[in-house]
Every structure is written in structure tokens, then in C-alpha cells.
């Protein structure tokens, strides 16, 4: 039997290691994370990085601004797969002053660091995660930023698939919608196979996402866009281009197909299934009478008169929401503000008592092992889980990458025998 070679992995913007954990759960013997970068600007204590190295002692760990990492480092750790979750920022580009040095991305935008990594390492696969509003940003020129990204991948000879996935639609415990982007090099075996299919079949039936995350055969309310040429010039895209990208799509050779897909949903995991036994919950997580009153106000309907900086008076209105989170539904999207007392904070009622979710329960909402973030203050444990992705989704995607790469291994063996 042909032995599948290990896939060298580079993890960018690693956080507390959700990508790595998901890949290792898929196949720890296949995915070998050789280099990982995590750096939180303006923080004296790098809690996420410390959590990462505690849970993953193997490999090279980088705790520095990625923009300061030399190209030679990326070249030394050239990988088969690059993964990472990165901020939704302004991806606009401009001509350099000389007009001869190509384009210049806006300083500090982390996507350009991803591009730099890809230019220096040429991995076969790229798997990224972002908030779903990426597909519609900026608001005044919708779709521009994502078009710049697609054009960048096209320049680097990648085919790209994307899909907005709500983890709860596929059996998990959190209603968390994120866009996932999978890019693969042209001319690998998977690309040759996919080129035998229509783009519609790739999105709905046989693409990277369609097989493990099935969708209905017809687009939601007929929302589909025909194949269209993407401009080659990213400066032109910045200045002029907008497009209504849907929740799923594929881009190949500068042409793309995009549709609003509907999941073939699996029953989600209800919140009650991830809660600790109440005997294990510390008293500090239960609400005082004062806190209960505060949340009644925060989560209740309100209409409040306010005055703007210019002196203009207006009314701020907010609809009501349930005073506690239903234990029979998956949890709402966890935010980085989970550790503060705000309207979006999860409040559960068990045996007639209201309380916050514990840090362990927040870890479970994202599919992490219990006490993954142990050792940092509770406030930071909540913050890190608000930043994290749902590990179970990456585990599923990892198995899909394993399946795809087996074909490359087989082809390599066949070529050796010729």
C-alpha cells in the first residue's frame, strides 16, 4: 500500500491553535505543523501564544509581528498547506510612486502577509477563515475586497473555492457563520479532476466544500451569478470594481461562478449538551440580583433619547431578546466581548438559577478540549474563544484535504514507476 507523505503545514495568525487542533484531530500523522506565528499587538502578555506553545510543544513557534519576519524564514519552512484566520480589513491597493514596481497594499493589512508567504513558499493548498461580511465589503463598493483577494490568488496560479458555513447547520453547538476559502495550485491532480466538471457541479455537488458539507440542489431563491471575467489589474478593481458575491463559489483562470447555497442541515448540538454538571460550576459564575436586573435591561426592548456630538437629539431603539439562552438550541455566536456584561453575553438558566457560561463551556462551544485555555485570566479565556473558529469544521476539512492529497501521492508513485 502506498504510504501518503506528511503534509508540512504553516499556521498564520494562529490564536490558540484551532486550525492545528482540527487538522490533528483529522489525522495527526499526516498534518505536520512545522511553523506557526501568533502575535497580538499592544499586549505585554501574549496569552494566546503562551496557550499555543503549551498545547503544541512541537514545531517552531514565532511570536513576532509577521510583517517583520524575513522572506528567508518562509522559504526555509516552505509548506504544502498554509492555514490561518485573518482580520477583515481594507484590501485596496495602489500603484507605487514610480509606477514600475507593481502594486502596494495598504500598510498593516494582514492579507498582504498571506500573499508574501504564498509567493515565497508556493504551497499546494491554502485554507483560510474570515467573517462572512468579507464577501460584501466595503459597504460603498460591495465585493471589491474579495475580488482583490481572488485576483491575487489568480496571479499566484491558484483555483479558489469559498463557502459561508454556519457550524450549527452541520451538527455543531454554535450558530457561527464564517466564510472559508480553499485555494489549490493549478495542475495538481485535484485541479485536473475538477476541470472535468462544470463550475455549478463543483459548487453544488463535487467541490472541496460540497462533498463534506452538502447543500440542496437548487440555489436559494434562484440567487446565482453567471461566469464572468475577473479583471487582471488589482488597481482597477480597487478603483472601479464591485460584485455581488454569494455565499458559495469557485474562481478558476479569472472566471467565477457564485451561488447562494442552502445547507442540507444536520440536527445541531443543543446548548444543554455541552454544559457542565452544575456541581462543577463555581459560584462566581452565577448572577447576583443586581446582575439579573442589569441583564433584564440590557436584553429588553428599549427606546432611549440620546444627543449626538453636534447636539442633535435622536432616539436609539433596540428590540427585546430572550432573557436567557435556550438550552434546546445551539449557542449564539460567541464574541470577543463574552467576558464583559453586555447584551450578547450568554446567560443560561439551570435549575431555576441564572449564570454565565464557564470558560470550559465556551471551549466546548468551539470544539476545543476542556481547559484548553487554562492558565490565563477568565476575561482572556472568553476573549480567545470569541476569536476562535469551530474546530470540528477544520477537522472535517482536514479529512477532505487528506482525501484530495492521496490522489497526488498515487500520481507521484505512478510517475516514479514509468
What is the mean predicted confidence (pLDDT) over 291-305? 92
192 contacts: CB under 8 Å, gap ≥ 6: none
35-44, 108-117, 224-233, 384-393: which has the highest mean pLDDT?
384-393
Residue 222 exposed, middle or buried by CB count within 10 Å (0-12, 13-18, 19+): exposed
pLDDT of residue 317: 87
pLDDT of residue 1: 52
DSSP-derived letter for residue 167 is: G
| CA gap 388, 172 in Å, rounded | 15
pLDDT of residue 61: 97
What is the mean predicted confidence (pLDDT) over 52-69? 96
pLDDT of residue 308: 85
Mean pLDDT of all residues in the chain? 92
- pLDDT score of 93 more than 60: yes
| CA gap 45, 403 in Å, rounded | 40
Q: Which domains does the chain have, with CATH numbers?
A: 7-266+392-417 (3.40.50.150), 271-387 (3.90.120.10)
| CA gap 332, 316 in Å, rounded | 24
Q: Please, what is the Cα angle at 241 between 201 and 105, to 5 degrees?
A: 100
Copy the grid coordinates of residue 260: 447562494
- pLDDT score of 376 more than 90: yes
pLDDT of residue 141: 92
What is the mean predicted confidence (pLDDT) over 305-331? 90
pLDDT > 90 in the chain, percent? 82
Please list the active-site residues. Answer: 88
pLDDT of residue 95: 60
What is the mean predicted confidence (pLDDT) over 303-323? 87
Of 87-96, 262-271, 288-297, 330-339, the one with minimum mean pLDDT is 87-96
In 283-347, which ranges are continuous DSSP H helix?
289-298
φ/ψ of residue 299, rounded to 5: -95, -5
pLDDT of residue 100: 40
Give the tens place of pLDDT for each residue, 348-359. Answer: 999 999 999 999
| CA gap 329, 174 in Å, rounded | 9
- pLDDT score of 177 more than 80: yes
pLDDT of residue 414: 57
Residue among 384, 392, 390 nearest 15 (CA) = 384
- pLDDT score of 297 more than 70: yes
What is the mean predicted confidence (pLDDT) over 187-214? 97
What is the mean predicted confidence (pLDDT) over 177-183? 98
What is the mean predicted confidence (pLDDT) over 175-181? 97
Is the full-model pTM beyond 0.85? yes
What is the mean predicted confidence (pLDDT) over 104-124? 87
pLDDT > 70 in the chain, percent? 94
Residue among 65, 92, 87, 60 nearest 76 (CA) = 60
pLDDT of residue 105: 63
Amino acid at each position: 500500500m502506498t504510504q501518503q507523505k506528511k503534509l508540512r503545514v504553516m499556521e498564520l495568525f494562529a490564536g490558540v491553535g484551532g486550525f492545528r487542533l482540527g487538522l490533528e484531530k483529522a489525522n495527526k500523522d499526516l498534518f505536520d505543523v512545522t511553523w506557526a506565528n501568533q502575535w497580538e499587538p499592544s499586549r505585554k502578555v501574549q496569552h494566546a501564544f503562551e496557550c499555543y506553545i503549551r498545547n503544541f510543544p512541537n514545531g517552531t513557534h514565532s511570536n513576532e509581528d509577521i510583517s517583520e519576519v524575513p522572506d528567508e524564514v518562509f522559504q526555509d519552512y516552505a509548506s504544502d498547506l498554509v492555514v490561518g484566520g485573518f482580520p477583515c480589513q481594507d484590501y485596496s491597493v495602489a500603484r507605487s510612486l514610480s509606477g514600475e514596481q507593481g502594486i502596494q497594499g495598504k500598510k498593516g493589512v494582514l492579507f498582504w502577509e498571506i500573499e508574501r508567504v504564498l509567493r515565497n513558499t508556493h504551497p499546494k493548498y491554502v485554507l483560510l477563515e474570515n467573517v462572512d461580511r468579507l464577501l460584501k465589503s466595503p459597504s460603498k463598493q460591495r465585493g471589491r475586497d474579495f475580488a482583490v483577494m481572488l485576483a491575487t490568488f489568480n496571479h499566484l496560479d491558484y483555483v479558489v473555492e469559498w463557502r459561508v458555513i454556519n457550524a450549527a447547520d452541520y451538527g455543531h453547538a454554535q450558530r457561527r457563520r464564517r466564510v472559508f476559502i480553499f485555494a489549490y495550485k493549478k495542475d495538481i491532480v485535484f485541479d485536473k479532476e475538477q476541470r472535468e466538471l462544470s463550475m455549478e457541479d463543483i459548487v453544488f455537488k463535487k467541490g472541496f466544500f460540497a462533498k463534506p458539507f452538502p447543500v440542496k440542489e437548487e440555489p436559494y431563491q434562484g440567487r446565482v451569478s453567471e461566469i464572468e471575467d475577473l479583471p487582471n489589474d488589482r488597481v482597477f478593481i480597487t478603483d472601479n470594481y464591485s460584485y455581488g458575491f454569494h455565499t458559495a463559489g469557485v474562481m478558476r483562470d479569472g472566471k467565477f461562478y457564485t451561488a447562494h447555497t442552502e445547507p442540507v442541515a444536520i440536527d445541531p448540538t443543543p446548548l444543554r449538551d455541552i454544559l457542565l454538571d452544575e456541581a462543577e460550576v463555581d459560584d462566581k459564575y452565577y448572577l447576583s440580583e443586581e446582575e439579573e436586573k442589569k441583564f433584564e435591561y440590557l436584553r429588553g426592548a428599549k427606546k432611549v433619547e440620546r444627543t449626538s456630538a453636534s447636539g442633535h437629539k435622536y432616539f436609539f431603539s433596540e428590540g427585546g431578546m430572550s432573557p436567557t439562552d435556550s438550552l434546546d438550541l445551539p449557542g449564539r455566536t460567541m464574541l470577543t466581548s463574552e467576558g464583559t456584561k453586555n447584551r450578547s453575553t450568554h446567560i443560561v438558566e439551570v435549575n431555576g438559577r441564572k449564570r454565565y457560561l464557564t470558560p470550559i463551556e465556551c471551549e466546548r462551544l468551539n470544539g476545543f478540549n476542556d481547559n484548553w485555555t487554562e492558565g490565563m485570566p477568565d476575561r482572556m479565556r472568553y476573549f480567545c474563544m470569541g476569536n476562535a473558529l469551530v474546530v470540528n469544521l477544520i477537522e472535517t476539512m482536514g479529512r477532505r484535504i487528506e482525501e484530495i492529497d492521496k490522489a497526488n501521492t498515487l500520481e507521484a508513485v505512478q510517475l516514479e514507476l514509468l
